[in-house]
Structure 1
């Protein structure tokens, strides 16, 4: 079209110069014809692009990887004996089998989390080159761009496995490795509790020497999980110096729980966006789907709230220790491509302080009381103290603005976390005595309950008058009888239960009809066990929770709870004693063990001693995958145990 238009322009110009002579009528007809032809081609191409059904689009991706290792001379070879890899000296290095290949083909699958549906695997592998990967999809709905980006992530993960800069494509066993994705409901672009995350994956030969992976799912989020599973059927063979993939496989899978969360606190110690993206990479690899971002606390307020900039200006540790709105939006999109929703939490009415002291200078009075009060042990659980002032009407105006910005930044329309834990009633009692408010209550839990009701009303107003379907609150005295039934609507409020697994909170809430998210401190608090960080008061939750504890914790079985009201579980990592330098090691592989519990919920054999060998070997394989993806995950055991499966158990 552009070429014809260019001819038109040149033709017109030359006619004016006199080099080409035509009769005036002929010239007009020629110019009109060319103009009509240009217009026709323009509208035709536009119509084709906008409306024509495209049966399949193929994309190819490649990038440079820096995960290089020098070739090694095989010292050991592994043989599959009784579904276990056994190590022996490699008499003939050319015939040696690497541990990576033996482990993938011998015994159980190396998938993590283990699928909930039937799985079949071939016992042979095929060599391929990452440049042979091709992508097909006929999906044209709103999630199409997410599907494209998710395949790009998958492709990057595959390339990240390679350890040779120039491994040859000539040694491949296939001519092309095609990944086809079919999503039946392609308009779903936001994850919700009822979103179907199930998928089917079929890996098989195609044509003469091709390989094809067919992924079918109801939604993008199921398809993304299938891509993760497919990536786990691929590995790098250090002996053959090539990528390998299971020759054939079928997997049907869906999660046991809709909410599979990970909470990270970025207020006690600041975590950069890059470190949080690494965490999201780990979450995606383990099919966790909710990042609960505890973004502020009494120590600092690092979030730049567009309508309330003074919160970060007066509450952040430093100007470079803040999160801008654009950074938050970018992180939310980064997470969504990886199947994760981001839930922003600004805890109130307690756990506020630094960042809330600007009220008097702005003519709003005291927004918070007990801020940095001493002795701190009288007014809060850990220093510094601070709680919102429930007697100041301007507090609720500020909350409405804050809630509105949190909704816009996260894009969440279903779940909202209001915090709500560890309110110190002595703080309110001491600092409200100069007003009549404190004397209007014989029980200050009533004041707490009324504050929560007002805050919920402001949340609805901030959401354009629409009630959030689910508002999450930490478990507290307010979520116990008799207050819970008086102030908290069971059709709307979800309680995140952080107490001990033997406490009665969870069964009582379930019996009263409340939905719960379980975060039992004695199993799924990953910050515990590192000693105290101050001299006074309880400054540590001991002991350390190893991955085995996270994996074996199955409270619905232990307490015979009704799973219908359990939305899922969440592992928590509070940041008093770590920063981004040790974030990876605190999380992984323990959070991966938790992830299999809430995805597959594998049965625990009470008659068997400890955890089965299969879990150790699969988790070790998954830990190595995380390392390949750039995460500094902790080792499970000595390398000797990896090279001699079963010998350490």
Structure 2
């Protein structure tokens, strides 16, 4: 059996590369076959090929890209899809951005950032030992990858009505002796989308039809592809609860990265609850001072501004949740845990709102009339904290325009108890039931 298999690298002819042979090591005795109903199967090169096995792309990376009709795309495109069964090799330095047609400088800037992320993902897929080598475009046999992006809408705010559909077209033209004016093969990539978010998803999909082939010591990609896709659901979200389990900003970024790979678009950030209040409010910093687990486990407005932009470039919208009134006990209740008698007194009250009030009154941490979130004008305080952050950082304004202010205590009874147990004049700030959802 011939141990050499065809693999497209294109210049004037199709090159033959020994299967499993490294440029610096011995040839591997193994190859990969695309077997019907099984996918990629490891086979010995010196044994006869089973009937039905496809050995056109015998490396593991090549087999995975071409064995299935949908390749390794995730999520599976809903609309039209065509993927070739042939491959072309390249390196990240071969990628050229020919043109970005965008209606505004902001959309163009976001697209350039998304492409930079795309390049970074490709570089990270290359083993570190190889990355340290001099990766220049001096190899005349490698094709160039030319990318063009066209976006029609200037909308950079992700909402329920945002169009996230896209069209991705990939076409490879191999150089031949008949085309001496163009000595290199060329792979053209065309991306069209209504919004930046659709274009970003197309760039993500493009990265999925590429892979590092350790046998060939090169990146490989499908020679041709036509994909038209749109999300099945407008809200594709993930929730984390940093009030109970603190996540550092770098960890949150990794979560957002993972969401972008799967084209999820809503990061529901359960920011505050009874266990902790990690948000540092410029209007009422004592909330975090007494409510956070520690001074290191907090989020400053600068952190949130950074995360909002980080998520936007990756097609993700951040929706923070501030819970009230019974879920804002942090900042007071933890300080009573060391006194059994005080704990008993708090527990006997039986009502979350009353427990919170009792703790606040006992420890004098904050002004009861001001901080009873969800009651009387305390709700306005919480709203004002959100607006403070919006005013300070314009980028945060775009994300926090949609925020969730959660309520868990019956509204009328909470207001009645709050009004009867404080000297607050109800006319100075009445509870408005429709405000339990941010708009």
In the other structure, the counterpart of 2:89 is: 127
Return the alpha-carbon distance in structure 1 between the equivalents of residues 374 and 319 of structure 2: 28
Q: Is residue 80 of structure 2 the alignment partner of residue 97 of structure 1? A: no
Q: In the alignment, which residue of structure 2 is the partner of 1:214?
A: 190
Is the CA contact (8 Å cut-off) linking 1:372 and 1:384 kept in structure 2? no
In the alignment, the residues of structure 1 paired with residue 422 and residue 285 of structure 2 have an alpha-carbon distance, to the nearest angstrom, of: 32
Residue 317 of structure 1 corresponds to which residue in structure 2? 293
| CA apart distance, 1:345 | 1.1
Q: Give the match's secondary structure for 1:178.
A: strand
Change (3 A) 1:289 1:356: farther
Q: Which residue of 2 aligns with 1:416?
A: 403
Task: Give 1:270 deviation, angstroms.
Answer: 1.2
Structure 1 residue 276, shift from structure 2 partner: 0.2
C-alpha root-mean-square deviation of aligned residues, in Å?
Answer: 3.6
Structure 2 residue matching 1:411: 3-state secondary structure: helix
Distance in 1 of aligned mates of 2:89 and 2:230: 29
Give the whole-Å Cα distance in 2 for the aligned partners of 1:234 and 1:454.
Answer: 49
CA distance in 1, matches of 2:103, 2:275: 47
- Residue 77 of structure 1 and its aligned partner are, at CA, apart by 1.4
CA contact (8 A) 1:126 1:245 kept: yes
- Tell me whether 224-233 or 386-395 shows the greater mean CA deviation: 386-395
Query: Does the aligned pair in 2 maintain the 1:373–1:379 contact within 8 Å?
Result: no
- Output the TM-score relative to the length of structure 1: 0.50
Deviation readout 1:105-158 (Å, 9 max, x if unpaired): 112321000111111011011000110111121325131110110100011111
Inter-partner Cα distance in structure 1 for 2:194 and 2:126: 32
Matched, 1:405 2:388: yes
**CA-CA distance at 1:252 after TM superposition:** 0.1
* Cross-structure match for 2:51: none
Deviation at 1:160, TM superposition (A): 1.1
Task: Quickly say closer, same or farther: Cα 1:430–1:138, change in 2 above 3 A.
Answer: closer
Give 3-state SS (helix, strand or coil) of 1:243's partner. strand
In the alignment, what sits opposite 1:152? 116
Counterparts of 1:207-246 in structure 2 under 5 Å?
Answer: 208=175, 209-246=185-222
In the TM superposition, residue 378 of structure 1 has moved relative to its aligned partner by 3.9
1:82 to 2:36 alignment: yes
1:423 positional shift: 2.5
**Separation in 1 of the partners of 2:248 and 2:25?**
36
SS in 2 for 1:160: helix
Asked if residue 254 in structure 1 is aligned to residue 218 in structure 2, the reply is: no
- Cα deviation, 1:12-56, whole Å, max 9, x if unaligned, reads xxxxxxxxxxxxxxxxxxxxxxxxxxxxxxxxxxxxxxxxxxxxx
Deviations 1:546-572 (A, max 9, x none): xxxxxxxxxxxxxxxxxxxxxxxxxxx
C-alpha displacement of 1:303: 0.9
**Aligned partners of 1:377, 1:122: CA distance in 2, in Å?**
69
Aligned partners of 2:279 and 2:288 also within 8 Å: yes
Change (3 A) 1:283 1:392: closer
CA contact (8 A) 2:376 2:415 kept: no
Are the structure 2 counterparts of residues 324 and 350 from structure 1 closer, same or farther at C-alpha, using a change threshold of 3 Å? same
Which residue number corresponds to residue 181 of structure 1?
Answer: 149
Distance 1:404 1:371, change over 3 A: farther
Q: CA deviation at 1:453?
A: 2.1
Deviation at 1:184, TM superposition (A): 1.3
Contact map agreement 1:78 1:98 (CA 8 A) in 2 = yes
Choose the corresponding residue for 1:137, options 68, 93, 100. Answer: 100
Q: How does 1:219-618 map to 2 (within 5 A)?
A: 219-355=195-331, 374-375=346-347, 378-379=350-351, 389=372, 393-408=376-391, 409-412=396-399, 415-420=402-407, 422-423=408-409, 435=421, 451-453=431-433, 455=435, 471=437
- The answer on whether the counterparts of 2:167 and 2:192 sit within 8 Å (CA) in structure 1 is yes
Residue by residue over 1:504-561, the C-alpha shift from the partner in whole angstroms, topping out at 9 and shown as x without a partner, is: xxxxxxxxxxxxxxxxxxxxxxxxxxxxxxxxxxxxxxxxxxxxxxxxxxxxxxxxxx
Residue 207 and residue 85 in structure 1: after superposition, are their counterparts in 2 closer, same or farther (change >3 A)? closer
Distance of 1:306 and 1:137 partners within structure 2: 40
Distance in 2 between residues matched to 1:238 and 1:193, nearest whole Å: 42
For the Cα contact (< 8 Å) 2:32–2:59, is it kept in 1?
yes
Distance 1:230 1:213, change over 3 A: same
Change (3 A) 1:107 1:435: closer
Deviations 1:310-338 (A, max 9, x none): 21112111111111111110110000000
SS of 1:334's equivalent in the other structure is helix
SS in 2 for 1:229: helix
1:205 matched residue in structure 2 = 172
The equivalent of 1:39 in structure 2 is none
Moved more, 99-108 or 176-185: 99-108
For the residue of structure 2 that corresponds to 1:192, the secondary structure is coil
Q: In structure 2, how many angstroms separate the alpha carbons of the residues matched to 1:272 and 1:108?
A: 40
Secondary structure of the residue that 1:143 maps to in structure 2?
helix
Stretches of structure 1 lacking an aligned partner (at least 5 in a row): 1-69, 358-369, 438-449, 457-470, 473-491, 493-649
Shift of 1:372: 9.8
How far off is 1:159 after superposition? 1.0
8 Å CA contact retained: 2:101, 2:149: yes
Structure 2 unmatched ranges of 5 or more: 1-23, 48-55, 176-184, 334-341, 361-370, 424-429
Answer whether contact 2:326 2:356 (CA < 8 A) is retained: no
Aligned partners of 1:328 and 1:410 also within 8 Å? no
Aligned match of 2:78: 116
In structure 2, distance between residues paired with 1:248 and 1:274? 37
CA contact (8 A) 1:264 1:292 kept: yes
